Amino acid sequence: MLREAMATVVTTGFSLIVFGVFSERKSYPLSKILLSWLLDTGRLSLN
């Protein structure tokens, strides 16, 4: 369970970095959307 949560965090973090680069180029707040989604996913995995 913990290993799956860590893998999800790492994968999402990598996606956050990639989309963050694209969002800065296109000036679209994808990184904020993904960050809030990551926080929600983190809360669900902790419960």
Q: Is the overall model pTM greater than 0.75, yes or no?
A: no
Residue 27 in this model has a pLDDT that exceeds 60? no
C-alpha distances (whole Å) from 23 to each of 11, 35, 37, 41 are: 18, 13, 16, 21
Gyration radius of the chain's alpha carbons: 12
Residue 30 in this model has a pLDDT that exceeds 80? no
pLDDT of residue 9: 86
pLDDT digits (tens, 9 = 90+) for 4-20: 888 888 888 888 777 77
23 close to 30: Cβ distance less than 8 angstroms: yes
Sign of the C-alpha dihedral computed for residues 8, 9, 11 and 16 taken in this order: positive
Q: Identify the band that residue 42 occupies on the pLDDT scale cut at 50, 70 and 90.
A: confident
